[in-house]
Amino acid sequence: MKILVIAPHPDDEVLGCGGTIAKHSENGDEIHLIIATKAYAPDWSDEYILNKENEIKKSNKILGIRKTYFLNYPTVKLDTIPQKDINNSIAKMIDKIMAIQPELIIRQGKQGHIILTKDVTGLKPYNPAQKPTYFLKTVEVQ
């Protein structure tokens, strides 16, 4: 099964559904990840930003994530970005999403996360001849 995980912030995929990702990966499923935001200077140090990038690579390897796509919005500021801009970024990802053809999309539903993922539901089904896409709302770790 091909699975697409949409994470508003780096580590949301680990904290919100890391166990689910690992289980699917162990079962031979193909996992793809979209991370919407990233840390930025001057709010975060260069060392923190580099460390975060390394953490993403390590966690992807541990969880068995095949490919990660980055939207590069500033973290903790999704609510300051016009929804139209976010929609446009997701629209640009549609070709990649279509190439993946996921059978399952995992997204998170907490406030800041809804900003990113609310229009993804409009993507289903991609093609009526394909298997339908289901949306799983994961539990938010607080």
Total structural domains within the chain? 1
- Look at 94 and 102; give whichever has higher pLDDT: 102
Q: Which two tokens stand for residue 110?
A: 């907490």
- Look at 25 and 82; give whichever has higher pLDDT: 25
Average pLDDT, the chain: 76
Residue range 18-52, pLDDT digits in tens: 888 999 999 999 999 988 888 888 888 999 989 98
Q: What is the pLDDT of residue 132?
A: 43
Residue range 52-72, pLDDT digits in tens: 889 999 999 999 999 998 888
Give the residue numbers spanning the domain of 97.
Answer: 2-138
As a 3-state breakdown, the chain gives helix, strand, coil percent values, each rounded to 5, of 45, 25, 30
Alpha helices by DSSP H, 1-142: 12-26, 46-63, 83-100, 111-117
**pTM for the full predicted model:** 0.73
Radius of gyration over alpha carbons of the chain, in Å?
15
Is 127 exposed, middle or buried (CB count within 10 Å of its CB: 0-12, 13-18, 19+)? exposed
**Alpha-carbon distance 56 to 134, whole Å?**
26
- CATH number of 74's domain: 3.40.50.10320
Q: What is the pLDDT of residue 56?
A: 92
**Biggest alpha carbon–alpha carbon distance for the chain:** 48
